[in-house]
Amino acid sequence: MTLQAYKYATEHPEVLEQIPCYCGCGQHGSEASEGRPHRFLRDCFINDKGEYDDHASFCDVCIGEAVKAMKALPDGIPKMSASAAPGTPLTQAADLSGPDLPEISDPSAMV
């Protein structure tokens, strides 16, 4: 699971940048973040330069949040197509803001 979470964070950082981390690490810095506090879940995995942070590798909360995000948005945040009318939602929005992310049994149902 840890490897899957890091892979997802690397491939879809835009998703994890929308989710706060709930493990309490936001008040702490790390070597990869140059001592700055983590701003969102992505910082627990990778920094702005794309360098890995080891924090999530030993944090079950961070891994759990990333796995739930991965299940909710396996392909990342959908891109707006040129033919879509402005204001037209592309998918049913999943609420990723709380500490208990939604369980989605069928991710294709969100399309």
Phi, psi of 86 (to 5 degrees): -55, 140
Position with higher pLDDT, 99 vs 4: 4
> Any idea which residue has 């360098």 for tokens?
51
Q: How confident is the model at residue 40 (pLDDT cuts 50, 70, 90)?
A: very high
φ, ψ at 92 (rounded to 5°): -70, 125
Residue-level pLDDT at 68 = 96
Q: What is the mean pLDDT of the chain?
A: 80
pTM for this prediction: 0.69
Q: Name the DSSP class of 38.
A: P
Cα separation, 29 vs 62, whole angstroms: 15
Cα–Cα distance, 39 to 16 (Å, whole number) = 10
* pLDDT computed for residue 78 by the predictor: 87
pLDDT in tens, 70-106: 999 999 998 766 555 555 554 455 555 555 555 555 5
